[in-house]
């Protein structure tokens, strides 16, 4: 029997089955491309980056994937669409995770800029569907940890576009922004970095939070997530 729910704003599926593999969307041997900007680039370059944590977390639950790092600093959604075929689809992955929005906000805030963002992300979804590549969308995290600042206010509209596209296209969503906001509010340390090094790029806690969100969206339940976290702790 399946139980559908949305922990911490994530579009995820949890089951009552005891099988470690039955609930996971990603399968043993799948290629998973991680597409994004500098957050994704550093998620691979750092040994404690979120991509490595996702790989280790899935392995802890019996699923070995082949990661394809495809993050480039400064990329906007338009850049990701332009290089999608060469950098990602040509490799024929089974999945790609898409993380973008921060750089888009910094070059445009509303109206035409927001419509272009929606157009480019839709283009990524369309090309991926044609190539038979599954997509996991993620909302953009935060722009500085002052959640009420102008940039985070602008970012909210971009994240709403991603949530709407995930619902309309029936693709899994890791609502990282909701997770980051909840954690930052809970810590209640104004002026201090809780999940980032500089307000944008992730510190080790931020990488763990991002990895949790992606694993949940891939279908990990609480027991599977605990297995993943034990693996991360053992790597310290």
**Which contiguous run of DSSP H or E holds residue 38?**
helix 38-45
Structural domains of the chain sorted by starting position, each given as residue range(s) with its CATH number in brackets? 2-234 (3.40.50.1110)
Query: How many CB atoms lie under 10 A from the CB of residue 108?
Result: 16
CA distance 10 to 227: 19
Cβ-Cβ contacts under 8 Å for 11 (sequence gap 6 or more): 166, 167, 172, 173, 174, 175, 217
Please return the burial class of 127, using the count of CB atoms within 10 Å of its CB with bins 0-12, 13-18 and 19+: middle
CA distance 204 to 192: 15
Low-confidence ranges of the chain (pLDDT < 50): 1-20
Q: 67 in helix, strand or coil?
A: strand
Q: In the chain, what is the greatest distance between 2 CA atoms, to the nearest angstrom?
A: 48
- Average model confidence (pLDDT) across the chain: 90
Q: Can you list the positions of beta strands (E) in the chain?
A: 2-5, 12-15, 31-36, 66-71, 95-99, 134-138, 173-174
Cβ-Cβ contacts under 8 Å for 166 (sequence gap 6 or more): 11, 137, 172, 173
Give the per-residue pLDDT at 109: 52
Cβ-Cβ contacts under 8 Å for 168 (sequence gap 6 or more): none
Radius of gyration of the chain (CA): 17
pLDDT tens, position by position, 159-201 = 999 999 999 999 999 999 999 999 999 999 888 999 999 999 9
Q: Percent of the chain beyond pLDDT 70?
A: 88
Contact 164, 171 (CB under 8 A): no
CA distance 37 to 75: 5
Query: How many CB atoms lie under 10 A from the CB of residue 56?
Result: 16
């Amino acid at each position: 029997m399946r139980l559908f729910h949305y922990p911490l704003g994530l579009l995820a599926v949890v089951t009552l089955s005891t099988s470690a593999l039955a609930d996971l969307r990603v399968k043993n041997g799948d290629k998973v491309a991680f597409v994004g900007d500098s957050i994704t680039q550093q998620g691979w370059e750092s040994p404690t980056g979120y991509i490595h944590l996702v790989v280790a977390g899935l392995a802890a639950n019996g699923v070995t994937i082949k990661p394809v790092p495809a993050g480039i600093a400064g990329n906007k959604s338009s850049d990701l669409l332009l290089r999608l075929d060469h950098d990602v689809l040509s490799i024929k992955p089974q999945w790609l995770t898409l993380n973008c929005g921060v750089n888009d906000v910094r070059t445009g805030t509303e109206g035409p800029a927001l419509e272009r963002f929606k157009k480019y992300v839709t283009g990524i979804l369309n090309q991926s569907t044609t190539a038979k590549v599954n997509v996991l969308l993620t909302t953009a995290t935060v722009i500085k940890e002052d959640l009420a600042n102008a940039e985070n206010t602008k970012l909210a509209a971009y994240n709403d576009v991603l949530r709407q596209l995930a619902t309309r296209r029936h693709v899994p969503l890791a609502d990282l922004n909701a997770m980051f906001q909840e954690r930052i509010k809970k810590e209640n340390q104004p002026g201090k970095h809780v999940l980032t090094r500089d307000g944008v790029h992730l510190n080790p806690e931020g990488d763990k939070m991002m990895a949790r969100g992606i694993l949940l969206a891939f279908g990990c339940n609480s027991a599977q997530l605990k297995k993943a976290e034990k693996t991360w702790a053992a790597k310290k």
